[in-house]
């Protein structure tokens, strides 16, 4: 089980979306997540979801002043990864430098009105050129979970990019379903869905990304792979069946510090 941004015993587990052609397969993928009991299905603006991201914590708690967004820890407790699925890191870089690193977010948001008055929302995002980096969970433990000032083992943080470092970027495929109190109501920050799944149950989430860049300690080329799959159980706890965060060097190795 993965409980994001919380310490569970000695292990930190954190669960910290082209062209129009891309949207056609996305629509099909989102449709497959819609509840069979729908009495009406509505397509909502993607901005309804994207504008809610980074709103849970004000001020941001983890990499301030960049707004918080969900990160991921491997089930083996070795690596923590943060990948800019909603474009929040790129927005900050652009605000500070006047230049984007090229992050683009596309997706589909479908809302299913349910007979009980609630609504089920399905979100599918595809993000390209998303900033990604990894930190050692042991380093985070040693630094009392000071995320901002703990060095990366792969890629570069936003602050480093602003200071001229080359970003590691890649693609993200995110799909999630959750419930809201009524059709048309505001959509939540994904962090809140993962922190407080009982309020949004049933919840399903799938996150997959590949980021290409370099190891921090050796400048060796590598790629950061994240694959997380989870769903709420009968107790409305979010349980993860897949918790992969791995760094694979082009010539072997894993960017370990």
Q: What is the 3-state secondary structure (H, E, C) of the chain?
A: CCCCCEEECCEEECECCCCHHHHHHHHHHHHCCCCCCCCEEEEECHHHHHCCCCCCCCCCCCCCCCCCCCCEECCCCCEEEEECCCCHHHHHHHHHHCCCCCCEEEEEEEEEECCCCCEEEEEEEEEEEEEEEEEEHHHHHHCCCCCCCCCCCEECCHHHHHCCCCCCEEEEEEEEEEEECCCCCCCCCHHHHHHCHHHCCCCEEEEEEEEEEEECCCCCEEEEEEEEEEEECCCCCEEEEEEEEEEEEECECCCCC
Asked, for residue 107, whether it belongs to a domain, the answer is: yes
Asked, for residue 256, whether it belongs to a domain, the answer is: no
Asked, for residue 255, whether it belongs to a domain, the answer is: no
Per-residue pLDDT, 19: 26
Per-residue pLDDT, 255: 78
How many domains does the chain contain in total? 1
Residue 70 near residue 15, CB atoms below 8 Å: yes
Walk along the chain (257 residues) in steps of 10 and give the mean pLDDT of each run. 37 31 37 68 97 91 94 95 98 97 98 96 98 97 95 96 96 98 97 96 97 90 96 96 91 60
First-last CA distance in the chain: 26
d(CA 177, CA 161) in angstroms, rounded, equals 33
Closest-CA residue to 131 (of 195, 175, 66, 193): 66
Per-residue pLDDT, 60: 87
Expressed as residue numbers, the domain containing 16 is: 6-249
Per-residue pLDDT, 58: 80
d(CA 238, CA 151) in angstroms, rounded, equals 29
Closest-CA residue to 203 (of 215, 190, 216): 190
Per-residue pLDDT, 156: 96
Query: The whole model's pTM is what?
Result: 0.85
Asked, for residue 254, whether it belongs to a domain, the answer is: no
In this predicted model, what pLDDT tens digit does every residue of 187-206 receive, in sequence order? 999 999 999 999 999 999 99
Closest-CA residue to 109 (of 15, 43, 20): 43
- How is residue 231 written in tokens? 């769903």
Interacting residues of 117 by C-beta distance below 8 A, sequence separation 6+: 182
Asked, for residue 39, whether it belongs to a domain, the answer is: yes
Residue 149 burial class via C-beta count within 10 angstroms: exposed 0-12, middle 13-18, buried 19 and up: exposed
């Amino acid at each position: 089980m993965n409980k994001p941004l919380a310490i569970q015993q000695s292990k930190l587990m954190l669960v910290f979306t082209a062209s129009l052609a891309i949207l056609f397969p996305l629509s099909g993928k989102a449709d497959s997540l819609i509840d069979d009991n729908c009495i009406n299905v509505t397509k909502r603006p993607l901005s309804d979801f994207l504008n809610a991201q980074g709103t849970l914590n004000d001020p941001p708690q983890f990499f301030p002043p960049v707004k918080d967004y969900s990160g991921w820890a491997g089930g083996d407790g070795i690596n923590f990864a943060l990948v800019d699925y909603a474009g929040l890191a790129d927005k900050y870089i652009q605000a500070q430098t006047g230049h984007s690193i090229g992050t683009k977010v596309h997706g589909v948001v479908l809302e299913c009105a349910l007979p009980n008055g609630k609504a089920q929302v399905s979100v599918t995002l595809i993000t390209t050129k998303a900033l990604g980096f990894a930190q050692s969970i042991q380093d985070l433990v040693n630094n009392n979970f000071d995320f901002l000032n703990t060095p990366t083992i792969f890629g570069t943080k936003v602050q480093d990019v602003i200071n001229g470092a080359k970003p590691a970027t890649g693609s993200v495929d995110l799909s999630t379903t959750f419930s809201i109190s009524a059709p048309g109501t505001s959509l939540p920050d994904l962090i809140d869905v993962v922190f407080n799944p009982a309020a949004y149950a049933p919840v399903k989430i799938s996150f997959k990304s590949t980021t290409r860049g370099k190891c921090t300690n050796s400048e060796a080329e590598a790629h950061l792979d994240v694959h997380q799959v989870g769903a709420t159980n009968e107790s409305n706890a979010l349980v993860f069946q897949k918790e992969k965060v791995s760094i694979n060097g082009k010539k072997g190795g894993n960017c370990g510090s």
